[in-house]
Amino acid sequence: MADKAWTIAVLSGKGGTGKTLVSVNLAAAANEAVYLDCDVEEPNGHLFLKPEVSGEETVTVKIPEIDAARCTGCRKCVEFCAFHALAFVGNKPLLFDEVCHSCGGCALLCPANAIRETGKAVGTVSSGISEKVIVYTGRLNIGEASGIPVIKALLQKISNKQDRPVFIDCPPGSSCAVMESIRDADFCILVAEPTVFGAHNLAMVHELVTLFQKPCGAVLNKCLTSENPSEAFCVEHGIPILARISFDPELGALNSEGKIAVRESERFQALFASLLERIGKEARHEAASDSQR
Ligand code: SF4
Ligand code: SF4
């Protein structure tokens, strides 16, 4: 694809636009690649890539554990917690662990040394291989409020994988979890549908990547011959259009059967290989412009 192994984040303003379709097919077209499923609330890239799983790690966060026997009831921890994760009930602090941000402050300040930190499982990261694509899948446990610890654990996996391109399948929308997912990306692909709603969602993710000063380009998915509000948005805002993927019954059928289109058809292999080529050009161009600034 390119002389450098780029880290490419694939985003969309909402689910169902084709973000995973683009991510898994790009990874498969690149052949030796890493695919990272950061859509930790509903990861589904593995349904397409069907990796042979080689391991699974539990992701934990630190939460306070209060020793009631030592606690003097001074309330200092409750007053300190900016996230209101501690309440004073029956003369003792009570923890609401789902809102605890694991800052460790309460344990540090407790004058009675009554608080120690303990690990709480919030999700998992599984590792596997699909042909030559290394697949990491993050899963957030049901009921957990934040996927960020699982996304951080996923990003750790690529810190020493600079020899092959990485494709990050981001969560939909523009939440903190998306911000975390694009943190290390060299380039962002914004996937958009050809509707007014698609253009609205595209505007949201474009605002996010602009805020993070990430170079980006758009993939317009499910294109019809009629007017495309997302394309109009790209033209108006100078966003490079990397590819237009037509509304295609064959692609739709492969996708609904959980198949990787580039592994099934030369036509789609050519489509995604050319998208890879275009991404490489854009990323190289941005890197060159950056070095001149
Ligand atoms: S700071 Fe320590 S001693 Fe004071 S209420 Fe909290 S746990 Fe108890
Ligand atoms: S670790 Fe931080 S966020 Fe969690 S309860 Fe203690 S002070 Fe609050």
How far is residue 137's CA from residue 45's CA, in Å, rounded to a whole number? Answer: 8
Instruction: Indicate the top mutation candidate among 70, 72, 106 to test ligand 1's pocket, ranked by most ligand atoms within 8 A of CB.
Output: 72
User: Is residue 198 included in any domain, yes or no?
Assistant: yes
User: Is residue 1 included in any domain, yes or no?
Assistant: no
Instruction: Indicate the top mutation candidate among 92, 97, 102, 110 to test ligand 2's pocket, ranked by most ligand atoms within 8 A of CB.
Output: 102
Q: Any residues with Cβ below 6 Å from ligand 1, and which?
A: 66, 71-77, 93, 110, 112, 114-115
Same domain, 211 and 252: yes
Q: Any residues with Cβ below 6 Å from ligand 2, and which?
A: 64, 80-81, 83, 85-86, 100-106
Same domain, 19 and 109: no
Last residue of a domain, one of 121, 155, 172: 121
Instruction: Indicate the top mutation candidate among 76, 108, 109 to test ligand 1's pocket, ranked by most ligand atoms within 8 A of CB.
Output: 76
Measured in whole angstroms, the distance separating CA 175 from the mean position of its chain's CA atoms is: 10
Which-ligand-closest: CA of 85? 2
Total count of domains within the chain = 2
From residue 193, alpha-carbon distances to 3, 138, 146, 200, 202 in Å are: 31, 26, 27, 10, 9
Which atom in ligand 2 lies closest to the alpha carbon of residue 62?
1
Secondary structure of residue 182 in the 3-state scheme: helix
pLDDT tens digit at each of 293 positions of the chain: 445 688 999 999 888 889 999 999 999 999 899 999 999 999 999 999 999 999 999 999 999 999 999 999 999 999 999 999 999 998 899 999 988 999 999 999 999 999 999 999 999 999 999 999 999 999 999 988 889 999 999 999 987 656 889 999 999 988 889 999 999 899 999 999 999 999 999 999 999 999 999 999 999 998 888 888 999 999 999 999 998 988 888 999 999 999 999 999 999 999 999 999 998 888 887 777 776 66
User: Is residue 201 included in any domain, yes or no?
Assistant: yes
Same domain, 22 and 65: no
User: Is residue 26 included in any domain, yes or no?
Assistant: yes
What pLDDT sits at residue 235? 95
CATH code of 109's domain: 3.30.70.20
Which-ligand-closest: CA of 61? 2
What pLDDT sits at residue 257? 93
**How many angstroms is it from 71 CA to the middle of ligand 1?**
5
Protein residue whose Cα sits closest to atom 2 of ligand 2: 103
What pLDDT sits at residue 4? 63
Structural domain including 278 reads 7-32+164-292
User: Is residue 157 included in any domain, yes or no?
Assistant: no
Same domain, 93 and 24: no
Protein residue whose Cα sits closest to atom 4 of ligand 1: 74
Which-ligand-closest: CA of 107? 2
Same domain, 28 and 67: no
User: Is residue 200 included in any domain, yes or no?
Assistant: yes
Same domain, 223 and 267: yes
H helix runs in the chain, sequence order: 19-30, 45-49, 76-80, 105-109, 148-157, 176-182, 196-211, 229-237, 249-256, 261-264, 266-292
**How many angstroms is it from 106 CA to the middle of ligand 1?**
8
Same domain, 233 and 176: yes
Same domain, 110 and 223: no
Same domain, 288 and 171: yes
Same domain, 24 and 70: no
Same domain, 215 and 284: yes
- Amino acid 288 reads A
Q: Are 139 and 49 in contact (CB under 8 A)?
A: no
User: Is residue 41 included in any domain, yes or no?
Assistant: no
What pLDDT sits at residue 42? 92
